[in-house]
Structure 1
Amino acid sequence: MKHFNKLMVLALVLITTGTFAQETKWGVRLGVGLPNLQSTDDNIYSKDYKTVAGFDGGIFLDYGLTENFSIKTELYYATKGGERNGMQPIPPAQLDPQLGQLTGGVPVYANFDNRAVFNYIGIPVLAKYEWNLGDKWGVYANAGLYVEFILSPEQETSGESKFYYDEAGTMAVQVPYNAGTDENPVIIMVDLPAQNMTATTDIDKDLADMDFGAMFGGGVSYNLNDTSELIFDMRGSYGFIPLQNDTETYGTVHMGSFTFSLAYAYTFKNRSKKATPTND
């Protein structure tokens, strides 16, 4: 969160700039995001994550430069992440040190539920062009860049499972067991009992604290009256900065998302100054 103050300053600057636009729209957007953890390789730790829908919404400012062209910015909050259930690898660094020594520092597999949840605050700056379809309807397209900062990322795991050396679950991790007595030990190898995998782990140090990427989309607007409108917005985004700090171990993963939203906007029209009459 070391960049959070910079984000607030940027938001203030963008909002203040809107007061100089020819026509300013203020609004609120509420939606649902469908994030996608996109791996650029076949890393065993980052593949096969499924989409987890989350809240995506904020307040926006749309300041017009011409009748059809405007610059749109927003301060939004979004929940992103993914889940991976079933047999999956556990990094050696996350194992108990004694078990890590026993397994020789190689990844082991377990059957459990894994959910990674990331909350972001971000600002996009989008160029927008709108086509009017009569007095009530309009359609628009917009594209631009965004920056966002991660808040309190957590990993939630649940379930019980034995550990295995292979993804198929045919080679169980074994530990030494004394089948004899203390005086006459008989050491045999037995399967490690099932372990409780339920935990909530703070993974902030493992992830990049900010992302920067491209955003694009479009939507439909409906004028309720001269100053109010309802908007259906669709947008996609793709982050350029890898999510994991340790890309050598966990692979290169980028955060993408597709969002559907409903919004309300109120238009403030700047009044032109009237000429002051003079007496001849």
Structure 2
Amino acid sequence: MKKYIFPVIFISIASASGAQRYIEIAFKPGVSIPSLSSASSGNPLSTGYRSQPYQDAALHAEYHLRNDFSIQPQLEYCIQGGKKNGLQAFTVPGEIAAQFPPGEAPAYLYADYKSETKLAYFLLPVLLKYHLNPKKKWDVYVAAGPFASYLLGAINKTSGSSIIYLDKDKTQPLSMESRPFDSETHIVNDLHRFNIGMSGHVGLGYKIISGCIFLEAGGNYGLILIQKNSANGRNRTGAAVVSLGYQYEL
């Protein structure tokens, strides 16, 4: 599929030859509502994530090939991830694994606590954009295309205390003492730095004398599993994004 994406873009550019061309620049702060989707039904670390709002901001350049058609590369800073609250699985720490006979430690243990995973990315989408009302005061448009991303940082925060269980039904406590789960761990070395995916949005713009004020709603979805080792989970990133911005012609 990937080998067809960029040829389509260049064919579209060629078909617009002879049209009046100009460039507009925009800044658009927004809100990201991410989702870490599970790609495995057998790994309990992959499931249970809930979304919460994070910040998102982007700069884009819109290169108009025609009044109604343009190409829009953009640089986007996006926080992705998710949170869990309640019973969840975790990998067995070395000090607990030592309590079991050699080779008999379970793959995962369970406890009631809070955890949050925050992943900071730079995204570089290249979008094809079509305007439905390019010459009117109010403009409606759609945009979609591929993106490449780079992971800037990744943190997992946990808090709370709980009895540790051998099973998710909480019928086999490891001991009757609660263990604290207050920690902050940098997990960037456990994840792939690069990803690719698809991005898109719909927008509503209002033209003013010096430019355009616009509101966009869309999202992105990563195609590559983020974990290097499947023992740490099998998840893909994705987010719904709402942005409010201002665009002006160079």
* TM-score, length-scaled by structure 1: 0.77
Q: CA deviation at 1:133?
A: 6.8
Q: Report the CA distance between 1:168 and its aligned residue.
A: 2.1
CA distance in 1, matches of 2:99, 2:151: 36
The letter of the residue matching 1:239 is G
Alpha-carbon distance, 1:250 to partner: 3.5
Structure 2 residue aligned with 1:124: 125
- CA 1:75–1:133 in structure 2 vs 1: closer, same or farther (change >3 Å)? closer
Q: Hey, what's the Cα distance between the residues in 2 that align with 1:251 and 1:163? A: 20
Q: Which residue is 2:8 aligned to?
A: none
Deviation at 1:123, TM superposition (A): 0.8
Q: Find the residue that maps to 2:195 and give its secondary structure.
A: strand
Q: Secondary structure at the match of 1:51?
A: coil
SS state at 1:32 partner: strand
Is 1:71 aligned with 2:71?
yes
Tell me the residue number matched to 2:224. Answer: 241
Q: Which residue of 1 aligns with 2:26?
A: 27
| Contact persistence 1:27–1:265 (CA under 8 A) | yes
User: Which position in structure 1 is the counterpart of 2:206?
Assistant: 222
Report the equivalent of 1:110. Answer: 111
Find out whether 1:50 has 2:59 as its counterpart: no
Which of residues 265, 271, 280 in structure 1 aligns to 2:247?
265
Unaligned 5+ segments in structure 1 are: 1-20, 175-190, 269-280
Tell me what 1:38 maps to. 37
Residues 59-100 of structure 1: per-residue CA shift (max 9 Å, x gap): 1100101111100011111111100110111112xx1x2311
Query: How far apart, in 1, do the equivalents of 2:98 and 2:89 lie?
Result: 17
Q: Distance in 2 between matches of 1:120 and 1:52?
A: 16
What is aligned with 1:187?
none
- CA offsets 1:194-219 (integer angstroms, 9 cap, x no match): 11100000101111111100112211
Partner of 2:95: 98
The residue correspondences of 1:159-170 to structure 2 (distance < 5 A) are 159-170=160-171
Alignment of 1:80-91 (within 5 A): 80-91=80-91
Q: Deviations over 1:167-214 (max 9, x none)?
A: 12221104xxxxxxxxxxxxxxxx3x2111000001011111111001
Q: Contact between 1:148 and 1:212, CA under 8 Å: does it hold in 2? A: yes
Is the 2:67–2:134 Cα contact (8 Å) retained in structure 1? no
Deviations 1:110-148 (A, max 9, x none): 110010011111110000010217631111011100111
Distance 1:127 1:267 in 2: 18
Distance 1:122 1:238 in 2: 11
Identity %: 27
Q: Is the 8 A contact 1:52 1:80 kept in 2?
A: no
- Cα RMSD for the two superposed structures: 1.4
TM superposition score normalised by structure 2: 0.86
Question: 1:80–1:197: structure 2 CA closer, same or farther, 3 Å change rule?
Answer: same
Whole-angstrom distance in 2 between the partners of 1:140 and 1:173: 57
Aligned partner of residue 98 in structure 1, secondary structure: helix
Aligned to 1:143: 144
Is the radius of gyration larger for structure 1 or structure 2?
A: 1
Shift, 1:32, TM fit: 0.3
Distance 2:172 2:136 in 1: 69
Instruction: Say which SS state the counterpart of residue 124 (structure 1) adopts.
Output: strand
User: Which runs of 4 or more aligned residues in structure 1 lie more than 2 Å from their structure 2 counterparts after TM superposition?
Assistant: none
Q: Which amino acid aligns with 1:252?
A: R
> What residue in structure 2 maps to residue 200 of structure 1?
184
The answer for unaligned runs of 5 or more in structure 2 is: 1-19
Task: Work out the number of aligned pairs and report it.
Answer: 226
The answer to whether the 8 A contact 2:145-2:198 is kept is yes
